Amino acid sequence: MRILLAEDEHELAHWLVKALEQSDFKVDWVDDGRMVQRSLKSTRYDALILDLGLPGLGGHDVLTDLRDADQRIPILILTARDSLIERVSSLREGADDFLAKPFEIEELEARLMALIRRARGSDHPRFACGPLVFDAANKQFMLQHEVLSLTPREHAVLRTLIQRSGEPMSKQEMLDRVFSDEQDVHPEAVEVLVHRLRKRLALSAVRITTLRGLGYVLECEV
């Protein structure tokens, strides 16, 4: 799952990015409120973590602008100002949840997962494509009721595909999601991982199809 973090405290932001990525989130970070809307226009995110004290454009203004534009992404507010008035005003402006600093990373992760589940209309973060099932709670793939053994990179690619099952995903988008913490990674790395996954799925009805000019799509043959 891909998260946009809008936080101007650099030390806190670096810690959050590292901690969330260790829990299999992919995180993009901006430190200016004016960058939030631009980032949301160029990339699809599952949730936004928004600090209220942003420079450029304050968190309240960012929140109001997003909801006025009918941007429905789940938004979790972070703030050092933990007052009833602050919480109420944020929720009325369209925030989905509110977390005061300092906080424990476990609580932040749990709140994020709950927001994403609600946004997807499910209390159970479970994705399926035919006999292939991914349970986000235990971070495990099942294929025809058997645990599918994958390398971390294979897991990341397949997770990205099943979260968008039936929709094409470009090679560059997959590269950005899977290798977001690395530089100078060639697109061929995605091709290698897709090739390996096709072998692992070969005896099932699940296929990773290449759509010329669009990318890859995970689908199930009927």
pLDDT at res. 76: 96
Mean pLDDT for the stretch of residues 33-47: 91
Number of compact structural domains in the chain: 2
Same-domain pairing of 213 and 184: yes
Please report, for the domain that includes residue 90, its CATH number. 3.40.50.2300
Q: 20-29, 71-80, 117-126, 163-172 — which is least confidently predicted?
A: 117-126
Q: Are 33 and 56 in contact (CB under 8 A)?
A: yes
Q: What is the pLDDT of residue 50?
A: 96
State yes or no: pLDDT of 131 exceeds 70: yes
136 and 162, same domain (yes or no): yes
Q: Residue 207 burial (CB < 10 Å; 0-12/13-18/19+)?
A: middle
Name the pLDDT band for 197 (thresholds 50, 70, 90). Answer: very high
Question: What's the mean pLDDT when you consider all of the chain?
Answer: 88
SS3 for the chain is CEEEEECCCHHHHHHHHHHHHHCCCEEEEECCCHHHHHHHHHCCCCEEEEECCCCCCCHHHHHHHHHHCCCCCCEEEEECCCCHHHHHHHHHHCCCEEEECCCCHHHHHHHHHHHHHHHCCCCCCEEEECCEEEECCCCEEEECCEECCCCHHHHHHHHHHHCCCCCCECHHHHHHHHCCCCCCCCCHHHHHHHHHHHHHCCCCCEEEEEECCCEEEEEECC
> Is the same domain home to 147 and 206?
yes
Q: Looking at the structure, do residues 92 and 19 belong to the same domain, yes or no?
A: yes
- Cβ atoms of residues 78 and 97 within 8 Å: no
Contact 14, 21 (CB under 8 A): no
Question: Would the pLDDT of 11 be above 90?
Answer: yes
Q: What is the pLDDT of residue 164?
A: 81
Residue-level pLDDT at 16: 94
Give the Cα separation of 146 and 166 in Å (integer). 22
Residue where a domain stops, chosen among 75, 96, 119: 119
Q: Are residues 112 and 155 in the same domain?
A: no
Among 82, 99, 119, which residue terminates a domain?
Answer: 119
Q: How far apart are CA 53 and CA 60, in angstroms?
A: 9
Out of 8-17, 83-92, 190-199, 208-217, pick the least confident.
83-92
For residue 182, the model assigns a pLDDT of 64
The predicted-structure confidence for 41-77, as pLDDT tens digits, reads as follows: 888 899 999 999 999 999 999 999 999 888 889 999 9
Q: Verify that 64 and 131 share a domain, yes or no.
A: no
The pLDDT of residue 3 is: 94
Identify whether the C-beta of residue 159 lies closer than 8 Å to the C-beta of residue 173: no
Question: Do 97 and 135 sit in the same domain of this protein?
Answer: no
Residues 97 and 143 in one domain: no
Query: Domain containing 66: what range?
Result: 2-119
Q: Are residues 208 and 183 in the same domain?
A: yes
Q: Are residues 115 and 135 in the same domain?
A: no
Last residue of one domain, picked from the residues 100, 119, 138: 119
pLDDT of residue 222: 66
Greatest mean pLDDT range, 79-83, 100-104, 185-189: 100-104
Q: Which residue has the higher pLDDT, 64 or 87?
A: 64
- Whether residues 28 and 98 share a domain: the answer is yes
Which domain CATH number covers 160?
1.10.10.10
Q: Do 208 and 152 reside in the same domain of the chain?
A: yes
Stated pTM of the model? 0.60
By DSSP bridging, strand 75-79 and strand 47-51 are parallel
Residue 85: per-residue pLDDT: 83
